[in-house]
Amino acid sequence: MKEISGIPLDKIDDYRWSIPRSYKPGMRVPGLIYADEKLLKDIYQDKAMEQVANVAFLPGIVNNSLAMPDIHWGYGFPIGGVAATDIEEEGVISPGGVGFDINCGVRLLKTDLEYDDVKDKIKDLIYRLFSDIPSGVGSEGCIKVSPEEEREILLKGARWAVEKGFGTDDDLEYTEENGAMPGADPQAVSERAMQRGKTQSGTLGSGNHFLEVQIIDQLYDQEACKVLGLNLGQVMVEIHSGSRGLGYQVCEDYSRSMAASLAKYNISVPDRQLACAPLTSVEAKAYLSAMKCAANYAWCNRQCLMHLTRQVFEKIFGSSWQELGMFLIYDVAHNIAKIEKHKVGGKEKNLCVHRKGATRAFGPNHPVLPEKYKKIGQPVIIPGDMGRNSYLLAGTEKAMQETFGSACHGAGRLKSRTAAARSIKPDILLKELESKGIIVKASGRNTLVEEAPSVYKDVNDVVDVMHNAGISKRVCRMRPIGTVKG
């Protein structure tokens, strides 16, 4: 056993570490952290491991309070945290286990273009993407909706966009949940949240949200790449965005109101940011209905963003997006809670799986996967920083057994935004990136430095842990050549 910042850790193997239940009276399950020795040194710099232990107090939690290798401090749950609660055993749902940017997620498009096709046009392409796609705090989109249409979006998700001509049915097939969770109820969403969302469809957002043009520079799994139609040198597009102000407001509303549930249901947790309610309660059902609305809004948003991206490529390359081969590989959610069936102690259970900064990573032959992907497992998209790499992985059966079919969601922050602003010069950063062949456009200088490569862990290290632990396997790696930041 080793101890880090007063927290005992049992080493299970080179990629797994356990926080024993004995660390804190009241922990119902151990904590389980996926990391190697190198990443552990980064993880203990904030209070994320303490949060892993705190999550283990939730009523109904099963197996372990999980932490992915990109773990860092968050609201209630750590970012990179996963926890499942058993509905039949007084299991709860916690807004802090989903987060403020509900269904922040990533979609990955392939193209038939190669690097030689874009190298002389990359600056024009990035500048046009920046000008045609609204980004940044409070940005408003060119896709305008009425109050009635906004309610439709909350119910239909990405299908609303497809029905408006902003995509195809194939896009829905390759989107998690087919782009909409059933059970959404706009009546559970506050007027303030509706107001914040009505002008933000088809907008990129701020902070770590981005749109990036990438080149595949490494293939790992030839069989999976063949299924997906991927080759070395191929141009890819990655879109990272979420539910914008609407999702933020839903979390804020319910985090505040659900705090009263702790006393009402006699629930004891060490952090009020873990405010929660039994899944059978009125409070939990209302939050779940509102969260689904925000999740559906996010899927619609990314569908609209993809439509606008395809339009820009059409303008720059003078061909239709279909002729350019701009087809969706997959769209995955990061911040979400879902009712799923998983085996616990050899028995199939209905669980509420919280994924806070974590990606669903279902293994081969899972019934919810598109037929095309059942042989290889669910595509798992892992964005890095704008100066290194991103990855496409595939879910595994081991993930189903150990992590409720969950994997990491990115590189994970090392430095706070404040620390980044103090130590990084935007002009120097832009020159460094351009020297690597990476063109960047950002809506503000603050965003640029807050998202500099040096403020993140190396995504290569994070993915190595997931691959070597058997939770998700590497399919291919991409390097950025142009990035639009919110």
Strand 327-333 vs strand 105-114: parallel, antiparallel, or unpaired?
A: antiparallel
Better pLDDT: 429 or 277: 277
| Lowest mean per-residue pLDDT among 86-95, 133-142, 286-295 | 133-142
Q: How confident is the model at residue 145 (pLDDT cuts 50, 70, 90)?
A: confident
pLDDT of residue 95 exceeding 60: yes
Which residues partner with 395 through β-bridges?
472
Which residues partner with 234 through β-bridges?
114
Q: What is the 3-state secondary structure (H, E, C) of the chain?
A: CEEECCEEEEEEECCEEEECHHHCCCCCCCEEEECCHHHHHHHCCCCHHHHHHHHCCCCCECCCEEEEEEEECCCCCCEEEEEEEEHHHCCEECHHHCCCCCCCEEEEEEEEEEHHHHCCCHHHHHHHHHHHCCCCCCCCCCCCCCHHHHHHHHHHCHHHHHHCCCCCHHHHHCEHHHHCCCCCCHHHCCHHHHHHHCCCCCCCCCCCCEEEEEEEEEECCHHHHHHHCCCCCEEEEEEEECCHHHHHHHHHHHHHHHHHHHHHCCCCCCCHHHCCEECCCHHHHHHHHHHHHHHHHHHHHHHHHHHHHHHHHHHHHCCCCCCCCCEEEEEEECCEEEEEEEEECCEEEEEEEEEECCEECCCCCCCCCCHHHCCCCCEEEECCCCCCCEEEEEECHHHHHHCCCEECCCCCECCCHHHHHHHCCHHHHHHHHHHCCCEEEECCHHHHHHCCHHHECCHHHHHHHHHHCCCEEEEEEEEEEEEEEC
- In this structure, CATH architecture of domain 105-145+160-180+199-242+297-331+366-485: Alpha-Beta Complex (3.90)
Q: 260: which 2 tokens?
A: 């009263």
pTM recorded for the entire structure: 0.94
240 flagged as catalytic: no
Overall average pLDDT of the 58-70 stretch: 98
Determine the Cα–Cα distance for residues 82 and 409; give it in Å rounded to an integer: 11
What's the pLDDT score for residue 136?
Answer: 54
Amino acid at 263: A
**Cβ distance 303 to 120 under 8 Å?**
no
Give residue-wise pLDDT tens across range 267-311. Answer: 999 999 999 999 999 999 999 999 999 999 999 999 999 999 999
Which residues partner with 341 through β-bridges?
350
What's the pLDDT score for residue 449?
Answer: 79
Give residue-wise pLDDT tens across range 99-119. Answer: 999 999 999 999 999 999 999
Strand 379-382 vs strand 390-395: parallel, antiparallel, or unpaired?
A: antiparallel
Short-list 109, 371, 65, CA closest to 238:
109
Overall average pLDDT of the 443-459 stretch: 82
Q: 343: which 2 tokens?
A: 């085996």
**Cβ distance 417 to 450 under 8 Å?**
yes
Check 334, 342, 354, 409 and give the catalytic one.
409
pLDDT of residue 241 exceeding 80: yes
Kindly tell me the sign of the dihedral angle through the C-alpha atoms of 132, 133, 137, 140: positive
Determine the Cα–Cα distance for residues 175 and 158; give it in Å rounded to an integer: 9
Kindly tell me the sign of the dihedral angle through the C-alpha atoms of 189, 190, 191, 192: negative
Which residues partner with 379 through β-bridges?
394
Determine the Cα–Cα distance for residues 211 and 230; give it in Å rounded to an integer: 20
**Cβ distance 20 to 49 under 8 Å?**
no
Overall average pLDDT of the 342-361 stretch: 97
Kindly tell me the sign of the dihedral angle through the C-alpha atoms of 43, 48, 53, 59: negative
Q: CATH 3.90.1860.10 region(s) of the chain? A: 105-145+160-180+199-242+297-331+366-485
Give residue-wise pLDDT tens across range 7-19. Answer: 899 999 999 999 9
- Distances, alpha carbon 401 to alpha carbons 106, 126, 291, 395, in Å: 24, 42, 27, 11
The average confidence (pLDDT) of the chain is: 93
